[in-house]
Amino acid sequence: MKKITIEEVAKKAGVSKGTISAVINAKNSVKPQTREKILSVMKELNFRPKGVARNLKNGSQDKSIGIIIKDLNYPFYTAIASGAREYAKSKGFSVIVTSSENDHEYEKKLSHLFATKDIKGTIIAPIVAGTVEIEHLFRLKMINYPFVLLEDVKGIQANVVAIDNLKAIKKAVKYLIDSGHTKIVHFAGPAYSSHTQERIEGFRHAFSESPLVFHKDMIVHVGSIYEESYKKTLEYFKNKNRKDYPTAIVCFNDMQALAVMTALKELNINIPEDISIVGNDDIYYAKIYPVPLTTIKAPQHEIGRKAAEILIRNIEASKLLPVERVVLETEFVVRDSTRILNHSKKQ
């Protein structure tokens, strides 16, 4: 594949190399019309800015991709990174993994760093915070920098690898309803996350296909971070009479489920005798939680492999490729944190 140089872009656009560089580095010194023309030429030629490339002593160029996850301590993301690393290695790429620590500004800095330091492309678990601008993702697209998201971001047409959240939660809630539970709530994740919205929709769909009636106070936003989820769970139950407690809680993810379990223990609420708990992700230690967790098993390793496959295919392509959106299936895993109330359903 012939590498397009900055000189070729400058010649085609009728500007200097310095002007091209100013556009790549998002400087304000370039007129809007000139900027648009340069970005158009970059896309036409499939030009990707070259960062600070380093050649090894044997003359071969080191090829690497980046992964920006939300939390290095959450096994869901480390398993995804492992899958991506395995595939990348098979294609001769090394992998650099870092964490945004659930901080949008830090994610923005990391994506800029990767794009300008000759990391060939990046897999991103994006921080979605409603009104927060997503200009860093737009900028990556403008400069034709390859990236794959692990969640849909409204307004961004990008490669995405995700799971069928709606179907997964719907299946979990249906299991609880079939088991005799009528007082079910969903502890939702970050308010603006597409994963949160899809899981809420799955919860609603399960009720629409049952004799039970959905009402909005069944959705309780407690977040996805352990400390926040723990605190909000305590607040939720301290404001309720015991007779009004739900018999089952469907959690946004397994980390939140652990926080909920910890809070319930402090409140002397037993699992599953008083309340059944369902998680989401099936991280590797969910089976050794204080009560082994019934959860939705996501194909974490496969998510990473597929994201790396799409990313490297785009990196190596000689022309722009169509955007891909891959949705993977999940498996519902029953353990000890849920119980059957009607005894007509076999475990």
Assess whether pLDDT exceeds 80 at residue 324.
yes
pLDDT at 52: 39
Q: Are 125 and 77 in contact (CB under 8 A)?
A: yes
Question: What is the phi-psi region of residue 206: left when phi exceeds 0, alpha when psi lies from -120 to 50, beta otherwise?
Answer: alpha
> What pLDDT is attached to residue 208?
96
Class of 165-298 in CATH: alpha beta
Q: Which of 98-102, 149-153, 269-273 has the highest mean pLDDT?
A: 269-273
Per-residue pLDDT band for 44 (boundaries 50, 70, 90) equals confident
pLDDT digits (tens, 9 = 90+) for 121-157: 999 999 876 655 688 898 898 888 999 999 999 888 9
The band of 56, judged by pLDDT with boundaries at 50, 70 and 90, is: very low
Beta bridge partners of 66: 96, 122
Domain map of the chain by residue range?
A: 6-45, 64-162+300-328, 165-298
What is the enclosing helix (H) or strand (E) of 230? helix 226-238
Q: What is the mean pLDDT of the chain?
A: 90
Q: How confident is the model at residue 184 (pLDDT cuts 50, 70, 90)?
A: very high
Residue 187 scores a pLDDT above 90: yes
Q: How confident is the model at residue 36 (pLDDT cuts 50, 70, 90)?
A: confident
Tell how strand 276-278 and strand 325-328 pair up: unpaired
- Residue 224 CA to residue 187 CA, distance in Å, equals 9
Average of per-residue pLDDT across 271-297: 97
Which CATH class, in words, describes the domain spanning 64-162+300-328?
alpha beta
According to the model, what pLDDT value does residue 54 have? 41
Q: What percent of the chain has pLDDT over 70?
A: 93
Distance between CA atoms of residues 85 and 109, nearest Å: 22
